[in-house]
């Protein structure tokens, strides 16, 4: 047994979750390793601090209150996450659309020679026109902003970055709180 394994075996032992053979291995390691033996002594010291502590009765409705708070928090996080996802999706969609329009234009020029694609293009012409108008309008707004006020562009990027950060945080937080619930249930 190595020191790292011994360390986790020690905490498992405190929870009485160590098999007989594992406990034997731990005892052997502790006998030959002063560093781990010292760690074990520290563990026992901490445990004895709590040995005399009395169990206090939990106030009525405590667990319901805790679960309600967790639920409220998760709901809030879910709403916030949904909102941020929509905003981020919008930002990404606008950027992608602008990029695709310029990239795919030559490809369209080639495909239009085939009747089927010509038909497809004609059908999609209306939508494409709308999209082109949107992209054009956005480009106009962007170029105006770029030409006049660079701080706004920086602000826009900072806002996008902030939103992305906040979104990531909500994901992490909700993972953590569901992890907590799992842990509590498994006890
Ligand atoms: Zn050791």
Ligand 1 center from residue 48 Cα (angstroms): 22
Mean pLDDT of 27-45: 92
The b/e string for 102-114 (b: 16+ C-beta within 10 A; e otherwise) is eeeeeeeeeeeee
For the residues 138-160, what does the mean pLDDT come to?
A: 76
The alpha-carbon radius of gyration of the chain (Å, integer) is 31
Q: From ligand 1's centre to the CA of 37, what distance in Å?
A: 7
Task: List pLDDT tens digits, range 86-122.
Answer: 988 888 888 888 778 777 777 777 777 777 777 777 7
- 17: confidence class by pLDDT, cuts 50, 70, 90: confident
Number of other residues whose CB lies within 10 A of the CB of residue 40: 21
Instruction: Please answer whether residues 171 and 84 qualify as being in contact, where contact means their C-beta atoms are separated by less than 8 angstroms.
Output: no
| Stretch 136-153: mean pLDDT | 76
**pLDDT category, 146, cuts 50, 70, 90?**
low
127 CA to middle of ligand 1, Å? 70
Q: Give me ligand 1 centre to Cα 52, in Å.
A: 29
> What is the percent of the chain with per-residue pLDDT over 70, rounded to a whole number?
89
pLDDT in tens, 57-76: 777 788 888 889 888 888 88
The pLDDT value recorded for residue 77 is: 87
pLDDT at 187 over 50: no
């Amino acid at each position: 047994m190595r020191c790292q394994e011994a360390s986790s075996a020690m905490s498992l032992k405190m929870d009485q979750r160590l098999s007989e053979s594992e406990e034997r291995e731990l005892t052997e390691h502790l006998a030959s390793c002063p560093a781990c033996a010292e760690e074990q002594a520290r563990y026992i010291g901490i445990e004895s601090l709590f040995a005399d502590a009395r169990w206090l009765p939990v106030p009525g409705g405590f667990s319901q209150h805790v679960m309600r708070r967790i639920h409220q928090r998760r709901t809030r996080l879910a709403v916030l996450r949904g909102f941020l996802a929509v905003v981020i999706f919008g930002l990404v969609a606008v950027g992608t659309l602008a990029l695709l329009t310029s990239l795919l234009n030559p490809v369209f020029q080639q495909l239009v020679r085939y009747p089927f694609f010509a038909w497809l293009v004609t059908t999609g012409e209306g939508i494409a026109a709308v999209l082109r108008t949107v992209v054009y309008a956005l480009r106009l707004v962007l170029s105006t902003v770029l030409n006049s006020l660079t701080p706004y562009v920086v602000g826009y990027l900072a806002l996008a970055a902030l939103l992305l950060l906040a979104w990531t945080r909500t994901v992490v937080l909700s993972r953590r709180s569901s992890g907590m619930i799992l842990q509590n249930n498994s006890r």
